[in-house]
Amino acid sequence: MTTITQVKTYLNYINGEWVSSLGKKVDISINPANKNEIVGYIQSSSGEDVDRAVEAAKRAQKEWRRLSGAERGDYLYKIANSLERRLDEIAETMTMEMGKTFSEAKGETMRGVAILRYYAGEGMRKAGDVIPASDSQALMFTKRVPLGVIGVISPWNFPVAIPIWKMAPALIYGNTVVIKPAQETSVTAAKVIECMDEAGIPDGVVNMVTGAGSVVGAAMVNHTDVNGITFTGSNATGKQIGQAALARGAKYQLEMGGKNPVIIAADADLDLAVEGTISGGFRSTGQKCTATSRVFVHTEVYDLFKEKLLQKVKEIKIGNGMEDTSWMGPCASENQLNTVLSYIEKGKAEGARLIYGGERHTGNGCENGFYVQPTVFEDVTNGMVIAQEEIFGPVLALIKVDTIEEALAQANDIEFGLSASIYTKDIGAMMSFIIDIDAGLVRINAETAGVELQAPFGGMKQSSSHSREQGQAAIEFFTAIKTVFVKA
């Protein structure tokens, strides 16, 4: 395993060169496991830096779109190889920047490698359909074409996988990219871009500008030469971006928050259900958009489920994600920690009963980190704030229900619809769940988190702009369709 010894300054990547921001301002990226440790200095850029990056991307797109899909795919294979070679180093950087455990960070980085390889192959697959024309002597077909320059705005919770699942399809379909990663994880993002540079990606095809969302992100969203914006992040930011993109006629895709339910039926395998609820609720410190948050438990098995759940929650080892013994790392930032703690206070004030955790965790060398205990509430009602708003932390709300129908009605009584799961052996209950649950990702006897790169991913209701990412679905956002009619 490599060890990061000196604090480095990471630059923007524009037109194939590593450059300082024009204003020469930098931000720091710190380790949430120890706030006194600086992981790196990153550029605090301005709208003018974005202008330069977009100009480079626009220029490069003319040549890039002319390459064959196989030629573009070759670059993606090379980027995948470079990322795989640097697996340990990049995973370690991720753990140090946002706190998830090293094994989770490695898993995520390998997912990035697999996504790149998946889309590299996509360059050899079909890019249109033949449709019978009204004139039998004519040929009519559709041809997928790139949008142009894509602005990628990404969050901090999956600092490798999300940028890659946006950039890889953008590139393979012939677009060029300007990415603005989350400030909290810009060092990790810079290392992903280094892999692209090492792979010899042509100048201007990928550009990275780091800095504040309200400055750099907003400049990208409002830039007339950015033809498509793909965003993952919070609902509040997503809505602003959607409105701004719509106002100037740019295509946009928003993947946003969740408040994901699991239903534990009376016939559920309770051990499996406990394992899935803990993994879904607490892995990555609850900071997954697909994290389990609301747990609807049938009255008949409520007490036993609760007992088994608490037994396992007590075993969770909190600590620095770089230590093998740690199962759950810190929250990704002080801000995030404070948000989680304030929701815990709201839960208590609303009358929910705290049955485990609820405090900042400071023991065993964790004093300088943003750690919080895994937290479980019971006596939660669906109208409470902690049952309706995304907390994005390791907090579970247990809600008792008498029937599956009641569980489904409450699970759907919310503005979000990202992922949902049910534990049951009954085929009828499974079918009602599949048909009636409002969620883009529906999982049976499996935790709410669990995204497969080859399948469409996205939410219903306020969780998404109703578009889908990943798998074959990505072509819908990253291309436009030309309908061609040819008569000899």
By the criterion CB under 6 A, which residues form the site for ligand NAD?
A: 153-158, 180, 182-183, 213-214, 217-218, 221, 232-234, 237, 240-241, 255-258, 289, 390, 392, 418, 459, 463
Q: How far is the CB of 23 from ligand NAD (least distance, A)?
A: 17
Q: How far is the CB of 457 from ligand NAD (least distance, A)?
A: 7
Closest CB to ligand NAD among residues 102, 392: 392
Q: Which residues of 243-262 are buried (b: 16+ CB within 10 A; e: fewer)?
A: ebbeeeebbbbbbbbbbbbb
Q: Collapse the DSSP code of 219 into the 3-class scheme (helix H, G, I; strand E, B; otherwise coil) and give the result.
A: helix
Closest CB to ligand NAD among residues 9, 335: 335
Q: Which of 195, 289, 331, 366 is catalytic?
A: 289
User: In Å, how far are 15, 41, 63, 171, 484 from 60, measured between CA atoms?
Assistant: 8, 28, 6, 12, 26
Q: How far is the CB of 221 from ligand NAD (least distance, A)?
A: 5
DSSP state of 457: B
Q: Which residues contact 132 (CB under 8 A, 6 or more apart)?
A: 140
289 is catalytic: yes
Closest CB to ligand NAD among residues 48, 367: 48
Q: How far is the CB of 237 from ligand NAD (least distance, A)?
A: 3
Question: Residue 468 in contact with residue 440, Cβ under 8 Å?
Answer: yes
Q: Which of 255, 378, 389, 447 is catalytic?
A: 255
Closest CB to ligand NAD among residues 65, 461: 461
Closest CB to ligand NAD among residues 183, 421: 183
Q: How far is the CB of 178 from ligand NAD (least distance, A)?
A: 12
Closest CB to ligand NAD among residues 176, 463: 463
Q: Collapse the DSSP code of 448 into the 3-class scheme (helix H, G, I; strand E, B; otherwise coil) and give the result.
A: coil
Q: How far is the CB of 275 from ligand NAD (least distance, A)?
A: 23
Pair of tokens at residue 280: 């879904």
Question: Residue 273 in contact with residue 302, Cβ under 8 Å?
Answer: no
415 is catalytic: no
Question: Residue 359 in contact with residue 373, Cβ under 8 Å?
Answer: yes
Q: Which residues contact 128 (CB under 8 A, 6 or more apart)?
A: 141, 142, 143, 144, 481
Residue with tokens 């209701």: 461
H helices of 19-158, in order, are: 47-64, 69-85, 87-98, 102-122
Q: Which residues contact 467 (CB under 8 A, 6 or more apart)?
A: 253, 254, 255, 458, 476, 477
Strand partners, 160: none
Strand partners, 187: none
Q: Could you list the active site residues?
A: 255, 289
